[in-house]
Amino acid sequence: MTESEFLQIDKKTWNKWSFYINIILFIFVALSIVLLILDAYYAGKLSTYAVGDQLSQAWLYIGRDIAFLSVSLALIFFQFFKNLRTIIKRSW
């Protein structure tokens, strides 16, 4: 069997899966933004007390939130530009 036989998905199924993936990505984005705001606020409160280990841990949490947010946004932009390229190809 060839590899292309395994990767063939009809358009209706792909559109349904793409919709669900986008919903999950937007939930990740919203959750990452909320956690980023909360963790940044917590790190700001800790910075007034100059606590070393707790402040470092708070910055790690902020880095985690930024990583999740950037990966989610990268996937969303990738899908956006892929769909835009498809639309441009169809209009030619």
What's the mean per-residue pLDDT of the chain?
85
Range with the poorest average pLDDT among 31-40, 46-55, 69-78: 46-55
Residues making up the chain, counted from first to last: 92
CB 47 within 8 A of CB 57: no
Query: Which of 74, 37, 77 has the alpha carbon at shortest distance from 58?
Result: 37
Is residue 60's pLDDT more than 90? yes
Query: Which of 18, 7, 35 has the alpha carbon at shortest distance from 75?
Result: 18
Q: Other C-beta atoms within 10 Å of 39: how many?
A: 20
Mean pLDDT, range 63-79, rounded to an integer: 91
pLDDT at res. 5: 59
pLDDT band with cut points at 50, 70 and 90 for residue 6: low
CB 62 within 8 A of CB 39: yes
More confident residue, 91 or 32: 32
Distance CA 83, CA 14 (A): 13
H-helix or E-strand spanning residue 66: helix 52-91
